[in-house]
Amino acid sequence: MSSKAQSKEKFKSKIGGQAVIEGVMMRGIDKAAMACRLPDGTIDLEEWAIKGGKDTPWYRKTPFVRGIFSFLTSLIDGYKCLTRSAEKQMTEDDEEEQTKFEQWLDDKLGDKLGPIITAISMVLGVGLAILLFMYLPSVVSKFISKFVHLSAFGKNLIEGILKIAIFIGYTALTALTKDIRRTYEYHGAEHKTIACYEHEEELTVENVKKYTRFHPRCGTSFIFLVLFISIFVNTIF
């Protein structure tokens, strides 16, 4: 099958997903599922219902506003699935090798430990993103403007290029790690699977392999688009 034929899906599904540790998570309108390969080689599958329908609150239906809540929900749910998939890779030996500090936290917090770690990780992640993509490019452009006169367009162009370079550099550096690279490969497998489904072909390994690992509605592609558009938008405003 040619790449041109692959790009023309028969329909656009409302299924999205993400890569997790040794697997993928797929989310539809009413249900979501996560499949992970366990250390013993077996595939663990979880399914759960998604709340919605007539009970969907107004802020999840209102244009512009709903995008913010959808983004936050996807971020939280995605991180939970990522954490859950990592826990599935733990063996009995790993659990027995807990440090005294880990055992103390587990004894004191119990089931509350997971949500607390998730919240702290998300705050640190958002803080790091603000530092890298907002503060650092601004500082660098101001430093350059001390030596070279920059117009508003030039300043925003430099900041935009820096943001893209940081994003590409971050992705490339993390891909050097074996586990993260493996997760990126599952990301591509997720795209191939959705493309196969949207072409109404049977979901077999042979059929899925024919499709490209790139997908037009990928969140990573969306980030690149936002970074490019921000160069022009910031110049005007």
pLDDT at 4: 44
8 A C-beta contact, residue 15 and residue 197:
yes
The percent of residues above 90 in pLDDT, for the chain, comes to 8
Nearest alpha carbon to residue 60 among 70, 51, 50, 47:
70
Instruction: For the chain, give every domain's residue range.
Output: 3-236
| CA–CA distance, 203 with 197 (Å, rounded to integer) | 7
Integer CA distances (angstroms), 66 to 60, 63, 98, in order = 4, 6, 42
8 A C-beta contact, residue 50 and residue 31:
yes
Residue of 7 and 43 predicted with greater confidence: 43
Tens of pLDDT along 206-227? 999 988 888 877 888 888 788 7
Q: Is the pLDDT assigned to residue 231 strictly greater than 80? A: no
pLDDT at 30: 82
Residue of 53 and 190 predicted with greater confidence: 190
Residue of 45 and 218 predicted with greater confidence: 45
State the amino acid at position 63 in one-letter form. P
Tell me the average pLDDT of the chain: 80
pLDDT at 224: 79
Residue of 101 and 14 predicted with greater confidence: 14
Integer CA distances (angstroms), 65 to 1, 16, 57, 76, 179, in order = 40, 20, 12, 17, 36
For residue 194, the tally of other CB atoms under 10 A from its CB is 24
Place 36 in a pLDDT band, splitting at 50, 70 and 90.
Answer: very high
Point out which residues pair with 34 in neighbouring strands. Answer: 25, 46
Tens of pLDDT along 135-183? 888 888 888 888 888 887 788 888 888 888 888 888 889 888 888 899 9
The percent of residues above 70 in pLDDT, for the chain, comes to 83
Q: Is the pLDDT assigned to residue 2 strictly greater than 50? A: no
Residues 6+ apart with CB under 8 A from 197: 13, 15, 203
pLDDT at 67: 82
The residue with tokens 């979501």 is 32
| CA–CA distance, 203 with 145 (Å, rounded to integer) | 55
pLDDT at 28: 83
| CA–CA distance, 38 with 58 (Å, rounded to integer) | 40
Residue of 40 and 70 predicted with greater confidence: 40
| CA–CA distance, 66 with 60 (Å, rounded to integer) | 4
Point out which residues pair with 25 in neighbouring strands. Answer: 18, 34
Q: Is the pLDDT assigned to residue 186 strictly greater than 50? A: yes
What are the helix (H) ranges across 13-59? none
**Angle of the 152-175 helix axis to the 219-236 helix axis, nearest 10:** 160
Q: What is the maximal distance between C-alpha atoms in the chain?
A: 62
Tens of pLDDT along 112-131? 666 677 778 778 888 888 88
Model pTM? Answer: 0.71
